[in-house]
């Protein structure tokens, strides 16, 4: 699996927008110039060769050996407003396959899962989804992060929230610190807007990290503030994805799923016990959560 990045890699405050490009600046040549993959002399050479051989610009650039297939793919993705990251972007985790290699085997699997969730949940008018697993080592963070990227690439305003207050991990996927986050909101220290990070590289994706690990994790996740926070997120975003603590830790996964109303279960090959998966499913269903399906994490 290879990693990738995007033109502007800064983390923008919630609500900030990147400068818009004009249609004239969105040609393959201009995109490759901005990314310093070509210089103006290369553009002239490609245009002349394309006219002579009756080729499109990209095909001519490839034949001349002036760009690689990967560089051209990223430029085409930018043309179609599809955030597709280049290798080594901002130290993002290589496990973000939907960002780095969305049309590879793993990226395609996540996009297929995303389409099923759209059909059976989000297109029904729902906006919130909990990603839950029994043991804490099932791969929930991996699944939640990649699904959130996939939804944002589709053009839906998406926020990913780390509800695993005891063992937070989503900030590591995006190379961020974890000083402020959900725990800060639940204790009333900061409003939600001040702990929300907009990821410029992925454009329509925002993130709320878990924040400092509190001593009363279980208590925080059962406070009324969590319900108010989820209601606010539901108003602001088209897709809200919560990573949850392990069910066996008994510190709030069931309540997050109940407030989200729907849950995707994650089981890990050669790790998750069948009895634990069944127990989690039954517990969530008993609490009124709709189980939308399960996914096998092979990692």
Residue 299 banded pLDDT, cuts 50, 70, 90: low
Highest mean pLDDT among 26-35, 47-56, 102-111, 229-238: 229-238
Distance between CA atoms of residues 60 and 297, nearest Å: 41
Give the count of beta carbons closer than 10 Å to the beta carbon of residue 254. Answer: 24
Same-domain pairing of 199 and 150: yes
Residue 124 sits at the vertex; the CA angle it makes with 208 and 95, to the nearest 5 degrees, is 40
Question: Does some domain include residue 1?
Answer: no
Task: For residues 152 and 116, state if they share a domain.
Answer: yes
User: For residue 1, is pLDDT > 80?
Assistant: no
Residue 89 lies in a domain: no
If asked whether residues 107 and 58 sit together in one domain, one would say no
Same-domain pairing of 191 and 165: yes
* Domain of 264, in residue numbers: 95-297
Alpha carbon separation from 57 to 46, 54, 70, 72, 79 (Å, rounded): 7, 9, 15, 10, 13
Which CATH number does the domain housing residue 106 bear?
A: 3.40.50.300
pLDDT score at 25? 67
Domain match, 156 and 291 both: yes
pLDDT band per the 50, 70, 90 thresholds, residue 268: confident
Sign, CA dihedral 265-170-118-250, equals: positive
**Residue 171 belongs to a domain:** yes
Residue 87 lies in a domain: no
Statement to judge: residues 40 and 157 lie in one domain: no
Mean pLDDT, range 239-264, rounded to an integer: 93
Residue 277: burial class (beta carbons within 10 Å; 0-12, 13-18, 19+) = buried
Which of 183-200 are b and which e, b meaning 16 or more Cβ less than 10 Å from the residue's Cβ?
Answer: bbbbbeeeebeebbbbbb
Instruction: Report the pLDDT averaged over residues 66-88.
Output: 79
One domain for residues 39 and 176: no
Q: Looking at residues 59-68, what average pLDDT do you find?
A: 92
Number of independent structural domains in the chain: 2
Over range 82-108, report the average pLDDT: 86
192 in Cβ contact with 159 (< 8 Å): no
**Confidence band for 48, pLDDT divided at 50, 70 and 90:** very high
Do 157 and 277 lie in one domain? The reply is yes
Residue 259: per-residue pLDDT:
97
Lowest mean pLDDT segment, chosen from 68-82, 158-172, 225-239: 68-82
Query: How does residue 73 score in pLDDT terms, banded at 50, 70 and 90?
Result: confident
User: Phi-psi bin for 205: left (phi > 0), alpha (psi -120 to 50), beta?
Assistant: beta
Residue 166 domain-assigned (yes or no): yes
pLDDT of residue 110: 96
Over residues 87-92, the mean pLDDT reads: 78
The answer to whether residue 105 sits within a structural domain is yes
Separation of alpha carbons 143 and 139, rounded Å: 6
Residues 71 and 123 in one domain: no
| Residue 33 and residue 150 in one domain | no
Q: For residues 241 and 162, give the distance between their C-alpha atoms in angstroms, rounded to a whole number.
A: 9
Would you state the pLDDT for residue 94? 93
250 — alpha (psi -120 to 50), left (phi > 0) or beta?
A: left
Q: Are residues 119 and 67 in the same domain?
A: no
One domain for residues 222 and 74: no
Pick the closest to residue 39 from 3, 12, 70, 66 (CA basis): 66
pLDDT band per the 50, 70, 90 thresholds, residue 112 = very high
Residue 136 in contact with residue 246, Cβ under 8 Å? yes
Percent of the chain with pLDDT over 90: 67
pLDDT of 24: 53
Q: Report which of residues 7 and 83 the model is more confident about.
A: 83
Final residue in a domain of this structure, among 79, 110, 126: 79
Q: Are 206 and 152 in contact (CB under 8 A)?
A: no
Nearest alpha carbon to residue 170 among 242, 222, 264, 113: 242
CA–CA separation, 20 vs 42, rounded Å?
Answer: 25
pLDDT score of 137: 83
For residue 41, pLDDT over 80 is answered with yes
Cβ burial, residue 274 (10 Å; 0-12/13-18/19+) = exposed
pLDDT of residue 37: 92
Please report whether residue 2 resides in a domain. no
Domain edge (last residue) among 29, 48, 79: 79
pLDDT at 11: 32
Full-model pTM: 0.81
Q: Answer whether residue 158 is part of any domain.
A: yes
């Amino acid at each position: 699996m290879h990693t990738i990045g995007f033109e502007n890699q800064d983390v923008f405050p919630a609500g900030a927008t990147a400068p818009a490009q004009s249609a004239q600046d969105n040609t393959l040549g201009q995109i490759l110039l901005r990314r310093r993959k070509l210089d103006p002399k290369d553009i002239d050479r490609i245009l002349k060769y394309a006219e002579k051989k009756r080729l499109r610009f990209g095909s001519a650039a490839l034949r001349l050996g002036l760009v690689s297939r990967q560089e051209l793919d990223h430029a085409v993705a930018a043309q179609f407003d599809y955030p597709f990251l280049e290798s080594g972007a901002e130290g993002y985790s290589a496990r973000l396959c939907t960002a780095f290699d969305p049309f590879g085997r793993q990226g395609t699997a996540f996009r297929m899962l995303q389409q099923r969730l759209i059909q059976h949940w989000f297109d029904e008018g729902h906006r919130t989804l909990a990603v839950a697993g029994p043991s804490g080592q099932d791969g929930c963070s991996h699944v939640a992060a990649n699904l959130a990227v996939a939804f944002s690439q589709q053009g839906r305003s998406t926020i990913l929230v780390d509800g695993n207050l005891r063992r937070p991990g989503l900030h590591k996927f995006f190379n961020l610190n974890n000083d402020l986050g959900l725990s800060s909101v639940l204790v009333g220290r900061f409003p939600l807007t001040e702990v929300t990070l907009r990821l410029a590289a992925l454009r329509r994706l925002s993130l709320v990290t878990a924040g400092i690990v509190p001593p009363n994790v279980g208590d925080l996740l059962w406070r009324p503030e969590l319900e108010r926070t989820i209601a606010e997120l539901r108003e602001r975003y088209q897709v809200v994805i919560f990573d949850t603590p392990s069910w066996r830790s008994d510190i709030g996964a069931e309540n997050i799923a109940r407030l989200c109303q729907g849950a995707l279960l994650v089981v890990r090959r050669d790790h998750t016990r069948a009895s634990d998966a069944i127990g989690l499913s039954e517990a969530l269903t008993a609490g009124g959560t709709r189980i939308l399906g399960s996914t096998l994490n092979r990692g």
